[in-house]
Chains A and B, each alone.
Chain A
Amino acid sequence: MLDLTPQSIRLVERYEDGTDIDHFTFEPVDKSKGLPEFADPAKVEPGQFFMLSIPGYGEAAFTYAGMPDDQGRFIALIRRIGSLTEALFQMKAGDTLGARGPFGKGWPDLNGNKVLVIAGGCGLAPVAAKIDALIAAGSDPVVYFSARNEAMLVMREERSRWHKQCKVYEAVDDIDSAKGSYMHGRKLPDNLKQIEAEQGKFDHIITCGPEGMMEAVCRIVTEAGHPADHLWLSLERRMHCGVGLCGHCYVANHLVCEDGPTYRWDQLGELVVKERAIKPPAEQVDMAVNAGSCCRG
């Protein structure tokens, strides 16, 4: 039987990590019977999510931006966007919330492969734990991360660590006002071409960001010859349960909470045919416009 009742967690720490974006660390309140599954490093996989309850405000899905450690501490990168997240942004270290999980299908095991990770905006969160896992497995991933502007380059601490561990490309759309040196975010096709010229072909590509961006990425790389069955992305749908009961997260006959949120591009394509869940890719690849229209961007 499923358990739809959360367990208490404590907010351990939070700090600003982008405009209206905070980096949260949580831990279970009661560890006396061992770590609950949602905080157990042996039970959670990169790409999975948990349901976070803020009593009085409801429950919403958040991705693990870092695997739980052996103390059961886990990380989420959260954007202030509505009433639930607003309430969360009023909370301080020591406050009690609820969590359950882990839910959904994580990213596939790509250890030993040459992997390119392409993330846009808050879409870095669902791939962050995978980047860590690939680094730990010695698979040397290449990361391309793009954001609207410099202030939206989220996960500072993780990125400064990755810079020492693997190749990281960074891009911003608003290049003129940026202080650092970056690739031009709006020139996605050119950037991907340059990365391939420098790094060679990739076995697998993982992407996460606003849907418009992911579609653009998938179209560009498949047109350039990357096989669709070696291309992965993560979808976002409204979720009220996370376990295949409430019906909200449907795409055709799939429930994204259970059958996703990670999908292989060609398999998602089959679903899209059943129900145009993703609109045909926009002609113009404008990261700024697309990023503004989705939770994770």
Chain B
Amino acid sequence: MNVYELDRIEHLRDWLALSHQVYQAVENDLGNCNWQPIEHGEVVKFKPNVRPLVSPKSLFFSEQENMFVFDGEKFRETLPEHGPRVIFGVSACDLTAISYQDKHFRKDPYYQARRQQTLLVGIDCTKPCDGGFCRSVDAGPHVKDEIADLILTPMPSIGGENTGWWLICSSDAGRAAVSGMDLRRADSSWSSWREMNRRHTEAEFKSDVHIINGIQRINARAVPDELWERLAHQCISCSGCSQLCPTCSCYATRDVAEDTNMVRQRVWDSCLMVGFQKEASGANPAAEAGRRMYRYWYHKFSEDYVAQMGRYGCVGCGRCESTCPGSVGVHSIMEKISNA
């Protein structure tokens, strides 16, 4: 594996921006971070250890997109078109979610049109984020080699000051993207420093007893229906959790008129909505709110899905907890079901 030394992260970003459209999480006036394009030469500081409000999910699985047009006679597919892209500075939980989505959407032409043009630059977290529990679900805090093309990991700091970065080329595409860049080869000490850093960071995570217990209880099907029903009363069906959850992938379709054409669109949907499974006849297998709440968490934590997808559906980002206006985000739920 090629590993290089890097003084400033922005230097790498600027290099990649020469040949790619680069997206980075940028903080706005309200202190929220969102994914935005950064041009070559643009002076925007890179902030490590942030968890953007939204994951990069929508850069692959668009919140709303056109699938095809019908002109009255023929249907014509409308695939997204753009050049090579870089998603820059993605943390381990979000990268794990992308690799999970890669599996789910492996044969989806719209997702793959975007994904295959995209290079992922990951970054190791050096402290737990607010509400994050990636460590408990094997999704962080460090980036695994196979889920990013390039990985940034900090060199040991001196007096709290960052002294630079190691740049790990973890895929052929990553190596190709930095070839030609003026970089120093790193000496072999990087891997033991990185390992030490990981252990330090992992030790800083808060207790995850409720998560582990909750997962066990879900899989033992030990949570009574009545409790799911009671918990579900706190859900106001805003679908905020599904929107922000980097692994939620459900969508609905709709037809819209455009001039004389008809366009089929797909839009994000959520299994927590009462009409999600409602059939035209009115029959609704998921009519009960408790059933839908169970569904959501079953999809995130069931071993049945581990067998299919190779891991839990939750990557421990904690976004559902911070967005939920009721109190049925991941920590609240797991707390309640593990104590039930």
Contacts and interface: CB of A to CB of B under 8 A. Distances in A.
Interface of A: 1-8, 29, 53, 55-60, 81-82, 84-85, 96, 98, 211, 236-238, 240-241, 243, 245-253, 274-275, 277, 293-295
Report, as a range, how many residues of chain B touch the other chain.
35 or more
A227 B89 CA distance: 57
Contacts of A248: 250, 252, 269, 276-277
B275 to A, nearest CB: 9
Interface string B242-253: 000000011111
B279 A236 contact: yes
Nearest to B279: A238
B193 interface: no
Nearest to B261: A55
Interface stretch (B141-149, B302-310, B325-333): B302-310
A12 to B, nearest CB: 17
B242 to A, nearest CB: 10
Given A3-B109, A246-B253, A98 B77 contact: no
B75 A253 contact: no
Given A2-B109, A5-B76, A253 B304 contact: yes
A247 B70 contact: no
B74 interface: yes
B70 A98 contact: yes
A249 B108 CA distance: 17
Interface string B278-317: 1111110100000100110010001011011000000000
Given A56-B262, A98-B75, A248-B250, A1 B271 contact: no
A53 B281 CA distance: 18
Contacts of A2: 107-109
Nearest to B251: A246
Contacts of A81: 280-281
Contact of B294 (A56, A98, A249, A275): A275
A245 B276 CA distance: 14
B280 A3 contact: no
B110 to A, nearest CB: 8
18 contacts: A3-B109, A4-B108, A55-B72, A55-B255, A57-B255, A82-B280, A237-B279, A238-B276, A238-B277, A238-B280, A246-B266, A246-B269, A247-B269, A249-B277, A250-B295, A274-B302, A274-B304, A275-B295
A251 B271 CA distance: 12
Contacts of B75: 5-8, 53, 98
A59 B264 contact: yes
Interface in B94-115: 104-105, 107-110, 112
B29 interface: no
Interface string B147-186: 0000000000000000000000000000000000000000
Contacts of B295: 250, 275
Contacts of B302: 253, 274
